[in-house]
Structures are given as structure tokens and as C-alpha cells.
Amino acid sequence: MSSDDELRAEVRAWLAAHWDPAVDRARWMAAVVDAGYAVPRWPRSAFGAALGDEQAGIVEAEFARAGAPGSGQDRTNLWANTVLTHGSTELRERLLRPLLENRLRMCLLYSEPGAGSDLAGVRTSAALEGDEYVVDGQKVWTSNAAGADYGMLLARTDPAVPKHRGLSFFFLPMDQPGVEVRPLRQITGEAHFNEVFLTGARVPRAFVLGEPGQGWRVLQTALAYERVALGQANLGAMTRAAGRGEADLAELARRYDRSDDVLLRREIARVFALRAVNRWNNQRAQAQLEQGSSSPLASLGKLSMSRIVHETGRVQSAIVGAQALLEGPDHPDGDDSNFASMNAYFTSIGGGTDQIQRNIIGERLLGLPREPEVDRDVPFQDVQHSS
């Protein structure tokens, strides 16, 4: 095994020889996967480099220093991580590399009009017919559904058992006649979310992750990686302008000649402190995920990021002052602060609502009593549902 210094020098030399911002992105991603740097913590048999967490962090740091994308997907690529953990050998061979090379567009088919926070109550059904499952139902709040190649689908395969035990988890091909996607307009004017209608859609039996009826367990893995990703990326406070990324609050305060405002300095420092604590928490959550558990710490990170993006939008608006009442290209800072404040609610919902994260933290981290679930042990077909 290489020492840290040897590994750092090796990665720097590889990047110097291969990375060029003008390189074809598809060719670059293939090279990163071939080198084992896309998922450095994974075994070599799964395109990884079999590194420990600290040395994998060195690889990611060198990629970040060079401004090169593609590394660290063993922490952030929820699609590939879920396939690696629960997929069959056939599914891994078919999907892992395209997922790591970003050649497949994906979406999440979880929430339904009557099953959002309580995902165990989904009513979309999947009935086995020969070597295929036939899927009927409706999903909602599905990001990127319109252009997706596959959707990670949670559906009910056995209504005669309690709700958590009759679920299965699928990779559903989206480009087929039984899938209809309708966009949902957001308060920001965008339409990232969709409702998806499934009518006789088909998914091969080989595209089940885990065993039939064990979909809840697979879902917990997928949700944990999604929450880690949401906890690490400030998705809710991204500005509308491509490439501008997260608002630099300190620089914004300097531009508005407000860097000496004691109250604003305290608010900005609080946001920076929240970000630092959240990074440490995410490192702890990632360590638990690598041990094969669905860490409840991911819920803490996801809830923290939700607070961070709301605080960032609030402080942004406070800095720009009256311009926060304006929007449009003639008022870019006001437009960005409004967008950040409104888009922050995405983070309060995506990956499980803030309220659900508080339940998980209370029950699994703090040891508080569980909320009563009167239907937990009742066969799903016998549970009363509102029409």
C-alpha cells in the first residue's frame, strides 16, 4: 500500500497527464473510472481502488485542487451505491459503469399523492407476469423524470402482509408506453418536479434490487446516500445563474459596504459555523455507510443542510436590503436572494421532510419513544385508506 505522500504524488501525476478542462467529458469520466478514482473506497472488482477513507479523501482533495470532476462517487452517487449494495451480479455488470460514467439519467419514483412522508404506505403495485413485473400507480414530486433512462421505483408486490414487508425495489426503464410524465410548476418558475403515471409499465424481473418483499431495506440504503448527498451539497441555495453556485455571503457584504455591520457579521459567522459542523457530521455518516448500515446520522446532516440553506437565503436578503423586493435581470442580487429563499424549501422536502428527519433523529439517535403506528402490523390490504 502506498503512503499518503506517495498516493498524493501519484494522483497529481495522473491528473497532470490526463486532465484538461477542454477534454471530452465522456472520455474523461471513462478514464477516471478506469483509474479507480471515481469510487476510491470500492473494491477493485467494482471499479474502485480499495482505499481507506483517509486515503480516498486524498484522491478527492487532489481532484478538487485540479478542478477535475468525477471522484468521490462512493459518497455521492446514490444510484451506483444502491446497485453495488443490493443489485444482482447481472445488474451490477449492466449498470455500474454507465452510472459511474454519468451515461444514464436517473430519477426517484418514491412519493405518491397519498404516501409522501410515510413511504411505506405506497399503493403503486407491481404484479409478476412471467419474467416481468407489470406496474400500475402514480408517483409525484419526481425530479428529472422527463429525461430519465431509469427510475428507482418503490412498489407494492404483496398487499397481504404489513406495509413495510410487502414492498419491492426496482430499476424501471422510463422510455416505454406505460410511463407518462407531467411537469409541476414551482414557485421559482421552474419545473424540475413531475408527476408520473404508470399504466401497465413493465420492468424485467432481473431489475429487482434485493429480494422481492425486501424493498424497504433497499430504500433505507438509497435514502441514506441521498441524505448524505443533500447534506453535503447546498442544493437549496444555489443561484439561478449557471456556474455562480452558492452565494458568498462575506463577499456580498463587502460589495454592499456592510462588512462592518456587527449583526450581519454574526449571522454570516453562524452560517459558516453550521457548514463546518455539517461537514464533520457528514464524514461520520459516511463512515457508517461504508460499514453497510443506513446511518441515522445522514438525517442529522440533511436536516442541518436544510437549516443552512434557509439561513443563507435569509442572510442574503438582509445584506441586499430593499433590492430583495425586486427580481429580474436588472436586479441580479435581489433576484438571486429571492430565488435562494424560495428554492430553500426544496431541501426541506427532498430526501424526506424536515419533520421526518426530526423523527428519525429523536428515535434512532436520542432514543426517544417511537411514534404510535396503529397500522404497522396490519396486512396492507386491510388498512383503511382515504379515497
> Which DSSP symbol is given to 322?
G
The three three-digit cell numbers of residue 124, written as one number: 403503486
Under DSSP, is residue 314 helix (H, G, I), strand (E, B) or coil? helix
Helices and strands, counts by H and E, the chain: 12, 8
Looking at the chain, which residues constitute the CATH 2.40.110.10 domain(s)? 106-214
What pLDDT score was predicted for residue 91?
94
Residues 6+ apart with CB under 8 A from 366: none
Rounded CA separation 348/350 (Å): 6
Q: What is the pLDDT along the chain (387 residues), one digit of tens a residue?
A: 789 999 999 999 999 999 999 999 999 999 999 999 999 999 999 999 999 989 999 999 999 999 999 999 998 899 999 999 999 999 999 999 999 999 999 999 999 998 877 889 999 999 999 999 999 999 998 989 999 999 999 999 999 999 999 999 999 999 999 999 999 887 777 777 899 999 999 999 999 999 999 999 999 889 888 877 766 654 434 444 333 334 588 899 999 999 999 999 999 999 999 888 888 877 777 766 665 555 677 788 788 888 888 999 999 999 999 988 888 889 999 888 888 888 888 778 777 788 888 988 898 888 999 888 888 889 999 987 665
Question: What's the one-letter identity of residue 234?
Answer: N
Which value, in Å, is the radius of gyration of the alpha carbons in the chain?
A: 22
> Which DSSP symbol is given to 121?
G
Instruction: Supply the residues annotated as catalytic.
Output: 226
Q: What is the DSSP string of 211-275?
A: STTBHHHHHHHHHHHHHHHHHHS-GGGB-SSTTT-B--HHHHHHHTT-TT-HHHHHHHHHHHHHH
Residue 146 class from Cβ within 10 Å (0-12 exposed, 13-18 middle, 19+ buried)?
middle
Strand 132-139 to strand 150-156: parallel, antiparallel, or no bridges (unpaired)? unpaired
Looking at the chain, which residues constitute the CATH 1.20.140.10 domain(s)? 233-365
The three three-digit cell numbers of residue 42, written as one number: 470500492
pTM of the model: 0.80
CA nearest 226: which of 365, 374, 347, 337? 347
Residue 46 to residues 11, 33, 85, 98, 294, Cα–Cα distance (Å): 19, 10, 11, 12, 21
What pLDDT score was predicted for residue 236?
39
> Which DSSP symbol is given to 195?
E
* Architecture of the CATH domain 233-365: Up-down Bundle (1.20)
Rounded CA separation 85/218 (Å): 8
Question: What's the one-letter identity of residue 28?
Answer: W
Q: Are 85 and 34 in contact (CB under 8 A)?
A: no
> Which DSSP symbol is given to 371?
P
Exposure string over 260-294, b if 16+ CB within 10 A, otherwise e: eeeebeebbeebeebbeebeebbbebbebbbeeeb
Rounded CA separation 295/293 (Å): 6
The three three-digit cell numbers of residue 33, written as one number: 473510472
Rounded CA separation 125/380 (Å): 12
What pLDDT score was predicted for residue 84?
96
What pLDDT score was predicted for residue 132?
97
Q: What is the DSSP string of 276-311?
A: HHHHHHHHHHHHHHHTT---THHHHHHHHHHHHHHH
Bin 290: left if φ > 0, else alpha if -120 < ψ < 50, else beta: alpha
Pseudo-torsion of CA 115, 147, 172, 142, nearest 10°? -10
- The domain defined by 106-214 folds into Butyryl-CoA Dehydrogenase, subunit A; domain 2 (2.40.110)
Rounded CA separation 56/61 (Å): 9
Rounded CA separation 264/71 (Å): 36
